[in-house]
Amino acid sequence: MDFKSLWIPLFIILVLYKFILYPTLFSPLRRLPNAHYTSPFSNLWIKWQRFQGRENKATHAAHVKLGPIVRVGSTEISVNSPELVKQVYCEVLEKDEWYARAFENYGYVLPNMFSMTKKESHAMRKRVLAGLYSKTTLHASPEIRDICRVVVMERLLPIFEKAAQMQRPVDVLEVSVSFSMDFICSYLFGICNGPNFLQDVETRRKWLASHAKTKRYGFWTLEFPNLTALLAKFGIHLVPNVALTAALEVRELCLQLLRNVDSSSSAKTLLLPPKGPGDTPVVYQRLSQSLCASVQEEIYRELPPTRSHLAVASELMDHIKAGTETSGWTLVYLLYEMSRHREIQHLLREELSLLLEPGTSLCFSRESKTPQAAEILPSPRTLDTSPLLQAVILETLRCYPAVAGPQPRVNHNTSFALARHIHLPAGTRVSAQAYSLHRNSEVFPDPESWKPRRWLEATPSQHEEMMRWFWPFGSGSRMCIGNHFAILELKLAVAAIYYNYITEIIDDDGIEPIDGYSHGPTGNKLILQFKRA
């Protein structure tokens, strides 16, 4: 018998071994409980859940039924406990290439901190930027004080004041996302260089519409990148040109803001005085000075000046994306739940009145349409002393984490053992999700309900256990560096709004969160009525 007559049965044997015998009899993962009967043989079940927009709930249901470690695919595992999260998100496992595909902005050769898969590159970039987002820096920052005054008191509250006077409902989703955009961009580029989405309705709606188009077709490029590229060569475009064009329009915003900074810098060379600390492009200055001059980040050494400019843009665009929808969606759900609980609005208003120091104010003047004593808003440290404000923020982040879905890591080390006894084959993708961690009924009784009092009434040991399972910003060295920035922004916005206004729900159809990596409202709106408190 010659080889030609043997290759077909040999091929069949190899296929059977790889897809049937190895996963069921020999794989180290064979002893793990399976989320689906096809999980040992294929990743198609979990990919189908992603495509259908059911991944978070399907994975959570598997954990409820099967325990803290579940095999969701032949090479994919989901974990759900603080101990396992600590092990997975340590220094051993790297980010999956999924991040490079999902969060690149101006090409794979120009990674930003979030899309970097290698921990060494990430650590170098983090050393440059982390200090700017530390709690100590933010609380003492004159730039942040200026930004709070301008964006919250001069842009955000006038919108709600006008709506209250005219008795006109407001779509707070559009306003909240615009507020977050203005707030983060003011810190990145300076108030005078950043956008003014809160007041420039036409520009913001155009950008938000383009941004929405980019999210509709991400599944194919993220889960089947090679297939997507191959089919495109034959004229079959799983991602239509309208989405690609929209992506260019979204990224153009950052390039325009960089041009604004360059123009502003040129003006300063003509000895024109800056308007205030808030006009300083804080993050841009640090990043451009450190990144473009650094010889440590080898990937940027040989870049021409124009590409170095894009390297800065890639990082800043990532901050824009991370700081816009996430904080904006969280503010939407804060307003939603506060509107459902009128008594908490009243209690928060009373608590804030007692905490405000002499000479500080959150009161918005009806007559002049300007804040009273805006230059001395309460400090972030003062707002941190409000237990109820802290509780409503924490409970909203628990119920509605902006990033609720799996955050994948991949094992490149064949000796890595999960929970000390489960040896993961190289290439295994492991992830945890805030959606499940935040729904442990033993730690958070009645987890589907928004109950800020759970944080106020918890004993010290209960509070410590709740924080162990609290995961809205991730953990480990890759934890979101903007967590303190987001908390500061949300606390000031909520305090300012409910010190001045009462909110009621007019239309909350579609408020239920999207089931996916990010977690905004499915209906993309929330209509509220504002009344003077």
User: What kind of architecture, by CATH, is found in domain 96-408+444-532?
Assistant: Orthogonal Bundle (1.10)
pLDDT of residue 293: 59
Q: What is the mean pLDDT of the chain?
A: 89
Q: How confident is the model at residue 22 (pLDDT cuts 50, 70, 90)?
A: confident
Distance from C-alpha of 500 to C-alpha of 360, rounded to nearest angstrom: 15
Task: Provide mean pLDDT across the span 394-401.
Answer: 98
Specify the 3-state DSSP secondary structure of 171: strand
Do β-strands 429-431 and 76-79 pair in parallel, antiparallel, or remain unpaired? parallel
From the CB of residue 483, how many other CB atoms can be counted at a distance below 10 Å? 15
Residue 430 above 90 pLDDT? yes
State percent of the chain over pLDDT 90: 63
Per-residue pLDDT of 502-513, as tens digits, reads 999 999 999 999
From the CB of residue 498, how many other CB atoms can be counted at a distance below 10 Å? 24
Highest averaged pLDDT of the listed ranges 113-117, 220-224, 430-434: 430-434
From the CB of residue 320, how many other CB atoms can be counted at a distance below 10 Å? 24
Per-residue pLDDT of 45-98, as tens digits, reads 999 999 999 999 999 999 999 999 999 999 999 999 999 999 999 868 889 888
Task: Provide mean pLDDT across the span 165-181.
Answer: 97
148 to each of 105, 195, 377, 481, 485, how far by Cα in Å? 28, 15, 8, 20, 12
pLDDT of residue 271: 43
Do β-strands 409-410 and 429-431 pair in parallel, antiparallel, or remain unpaired? antiparallel
Residue extents of the structural domains in the chain = 96-408+444-532
Task: Provide mean pLDDT across the span 198-227.
Answer: 91
Distance from C-alpha of 376 to C-alpha of 146, rounded to nearest angstrom: 10
Task: Provide mean pLDDT across the span 211-218.
Answer: 85
> b/e string for 154-164 if b means 16 or more Cβ within 10 A?
bbbbbbbbebb
State yes or no: 480 annotated in a binding site: yes
Residue 272 above 60 pLDDT? no
Q: How confident is the model at residue 292 (pLDDT cuts 50, 70, 90)?
A: low
Specify the 3-state DSSP secondary structure of 529: strand
Q: How confident is the model at residue 429 (pLDDT cuts 50, 70, 90)?
A: very high
Per-residue pLDDT of 313-365, as tens digits, reads 999 999 999 999 999 999 999 999 999 999 999 999 999 999 998 888 898 87
Residue 261 above 60 pLDDT? yes
If you ran DSSP here, which 8-state letter would residue 71 be given?
E
Task: Provide mean pLDDT across the span 298-305.
Answer: 50
DSSP run (H or E) holding 362: none
Residue 297 above 70 pLDDT? no
